A and B are shown apart, each in its own frame.
Chain A
Amino acid sequence: MRSVAETTVILDDDVHQASMEAHKRLMEQIVRTGDRAAFKALFVYFGPRIKALMIKAGAEQAVADDLVQDVMMTLWSKAHLYRPDRGAVSTWVYTIARNARIDRLRRRSSQPYDDLDDVELASEEADAEACTLASQQSEGVAIAVADLPEDQRQIIECAFVQDLSQSEIAAKLSLPLGTVKSRMRLAYSKLKRRLEVYQ
């Protein structure tokens, strides 16, 4: 794995990349030694962001606080399931938060997502190159999302952050459902094209 944290260059991308690598190292420490200080550092960073996400998804303050506890508890107890070759720690945290949102806010089942994780578990261990590629992809997506045209970025934000269904997005933005779907597809292919440099 690259040691990026030492870099003295202070471009935004490098700072972001450095924090991504730092988060991965904290996860390693949790898995290796059950390091509480490492967990605390991740809680201090992600806890308030998870709460912000839940509030935007429509949770009351108290529910959002409970969800922060649930998500971070899952991060602790399933730390060994985090795969650095599958993306940044923030991506993994997002999937845990999304699953908690499905169970608690939408009152549906996140079981299919957990089962799918099991499929990945059965596959082989990550090598260093795959981890680096995954970091680059997470980084590339972050830059590309920020660069999306406003109409596409707005739809992504409604779905991934505000947890609106497609018909709710259509109603909120006064758009036909078909337009919501096509903007979603457009956003996806823009991101995908942007990432081709890493493949």
Chain B
Amino acid sequence: MTVRHHLDKNTLMRFASGDLDDAFSVVVASHLAMCEECRNELRMAEDIGGSLIESEEPAELAPGALERIMSSIDVAEAPLQRRESLARDVFADVPLPLRRYVGNRLDEIAWKTAAPGVKRKRIEVDGSSSLYLLHIGPNKVVPEHGHGGAEMTLILSGSYQDALGRFQPGDIADLDEHIEHQPRVEPDAPCICLVATETQTRFKGFFSRLLQPLVGI
């Protein structure tokens, strides 16, 4: 997979330091699962945390801390077995961090019609941001718009084009509130994408706006 649109570096740093809420973490982790380049960059960002933990001034542990951990590991399972990897389903086309929410296969998702040519699968996560999958029909165009809050879109299948270029599977549109765009789904196939939006109450994001008149998310 050749991924052309990657994470904003600020987003990468926020993910590395644990600052994204659940909806955005799922989208970012799903992109990372599809993009080796960003995984390498994440490691570098996590090395920052490693170097900072090394340079911390050691704090005094509670009395008995060492005895406590040593007796905990005695009763724990031996650390030798390799965990069975979830990644073994060869037919799965849903990125791994998303599978626990929607299953392994895109063609088995239970869509609900949200607007003409648009189907949606809402994903329940904690926090105030929304997370959902969209299935948008070929050639569908959306009016030019900016964003009320951050909006992140990961393409899982099909493609769309806007002023920022062509977005194909693995590509992520990691947009700040100020960017305007007008995506058009390409003619050959529907576009399936995973979307996180920051502001639930104000319907200014692209996909939220697309859906708002009919479903009022």
Known: A44-B66, A141-B51. A73 touches B79 (CB 8 A): no
Q: Do the beta carbons of B47 and A55 come within 8 Å of each other?
A: no
Q: Taking the complex as formed, is A24 at the interface, i.e. its CB lies under 8 A from any CB of chain B? A: no
Q: Do the beta carbons of A99 and B18 come within 8 Å of each other?
A: yes
Q: Do the beta carbons of A119 and B87 come within 8 Å of each other?
A: yes
A31: chain B residues at CB < 8 Å are 79-80
Q: Do the beta carbons of B46 and A95 come within 8 Å of each other?
A: yes
A93: chain B residues at CB < 8 Å are 50, 53
Q: Taking the complex as formed, is B14 at the interface, i.e. its CB lies under 8 A from any CB of chain A? A: yes
Q: Is the interface of B mostly helix, strand, loop or mixed?
A: helix
Q: Mark A185-199, 1 if CB is under 8 A from B, else 0.
A: 101110110010000
Q: Taking the complex as formed, is B114 at the interface, i.e. its CB lies under 8 A from any CB of chain A? A: no
B47: chain A residues at CB < 8 Å are 87-88, 91, 137-138, 141-142
Q: Mark B1-35, 1 if CB is under 8 A from A, else 0.
A: 00000001110111011110110011011101100
Please report B residues at the A interface, Cβ cutoff 8 Å.
8-10, 12-14, 16-19, 21-22, 25-26, 28-30, 32-33, 39, 41, 43-62, 65-66, 68-70, 72-73, 76-83, 85-88, 96-97, 99-100, 125-127
A48-B61, A95-B46, A137-B47 provided; 18 other pairs, C-beta below 8 A?
A: A36-B73, A49-B56, A53-B53, A61-B62, A62-B62, A68-B61, A69-B69, A80-B80, A80-B83, A87-B47, A91-B47, A111-B97, A141-B44, A141-B50, A142-B47, A142-B54, A165-B19, A181-B10
Q: Sorted from nearest, which 5 A-B pairs have the closest CB atoms?
A: A91-B50, A48-B58, A94-B49, A112-B29, A142-B51
Please report A residues at the B interface, Cβ cutoff 8 Å.
16, 30-31, 34, 36, 39-40, 43-44, 46-53, 55-56, 61-62, 64-65, 68-69, 72-73, 76-81, 86-88, 90-95, 97-99, 101-102, 106, 108-113, 115-116, 118-122, 134, 137-138, 141-142, 145-146, 156-157, 159-161, 163, 165-166, 181, 184-185, 187-189, 191-192, 195
